[in-house]
Structure 1
């Protein structure tokens, strides 16, 4: 019997295993047959820091126009009176002056400008703030306001723009004169007037009339004395009329 040679499988070169290609980020990956495509999420964007908000209280955000306006406001300070500093009329009511003071003091408070790089401008803003406070100190007081208004209305306006110690003394003297004009300048006249006024307050009308007439002998032109005497005599006239009516035969 003839021998049969064993069968030998043909040699096949080895095949490298299939390695799936890596698709770029965001490219759909082909799934197995019948499945929906899967899209991998895109990579997160690089973190972006927002710009810092402008600081409204430091003056760093002033643009060139605002800086120019600030320079102009400060440069006029030495030529302005207190009404102009607060930007109010001379006839402004006390409430309007107070409102203007709050507005201007907030606008030019040094804390808003402490980051200014220009030292001269910073110093001028500080001086402007002080002048705003000074203006309010004077204009809120009726006596000081009257004296100051008279000062800046005269020929020496340029020298009277600031309320100094001299202005304070002038105000006290003017107030004293006003009181004297109201109560009287003659010691005896003032004494009789004050006694007559006290009599009137207590209802002693005849005594009040006598004392007021005595006061007028010392100061016959005193308007206050005349007005008080007229008030007392009117009461006496009314009382006399009532007493006369009581004695009438009815």
Structure 2
């Protein structure tokens, strides 16, 4: 007997035609059955008719209330709820938006299929771990007092973790990237990657979204962002070499990677500087033409496509942010 996997049912609630079209291109029909709604009201109707497994919601002024309302509906209880927006390239904004709305996580738009599936897998692992812990607790017979978890030991462990966060946070300005990751300057790229993954397990903000202590949550977030910054620099051979040179050229070197001296140019100045691939150059040029004609929505669409082709181009991302700001302003 042949077993076929049914496509995952996805409901996308977003009023932006361009973003809906791009998501339709991003998510393959063989794996995802897509349904679209331009408004919250239309989305709620579709949710009741055909409850999805995944809800993708474009971030806007009403998305926070929509997410909270969805969480109260029986039809949405089995859904994974994801917010997306261009502004979430700032991970702090995405984290805060997801936390405030009750979404499971937030993604910077545009995102790739790989990014979506990686986050869905991580979210599912977290749910399974929580369910497993609850199941073990519920099925365990009453233990003797000596066998029960020692509250004092748990409190000590928590205070130890708080101390680690405080130590890192208080010394962010005095530790270089190697010290933040806990590796020597001679360590290989593989060792740097392993150290980063271990730090991610310890300090990833998603683990602490329900923490009551807002100040501690913020400190954890800032520590994690600096650790991620360290990994990005040290995992790039050219950036790492430049950073090591930066550390060795001054008695009091800057401890953060100084790449701010590069000249920033807009799309209109030189497309060749922004994109190295043929597709990236094509979309950047089409964005330039659309912007000159005053069609900012079309320019944003082409810049978004260019950004997908050229994920390392800061100039394209900056220009996309500029166009988005003009559209929203």
| Both structures adopt the same fold (TM-score exceeding 0.5) | no
- Name whichever structure is richer in strand by fraction: 2
TM normalised by structure 2 equals 0.31
- Which is higher, the Rg of structure 1 or of structure 2? 1
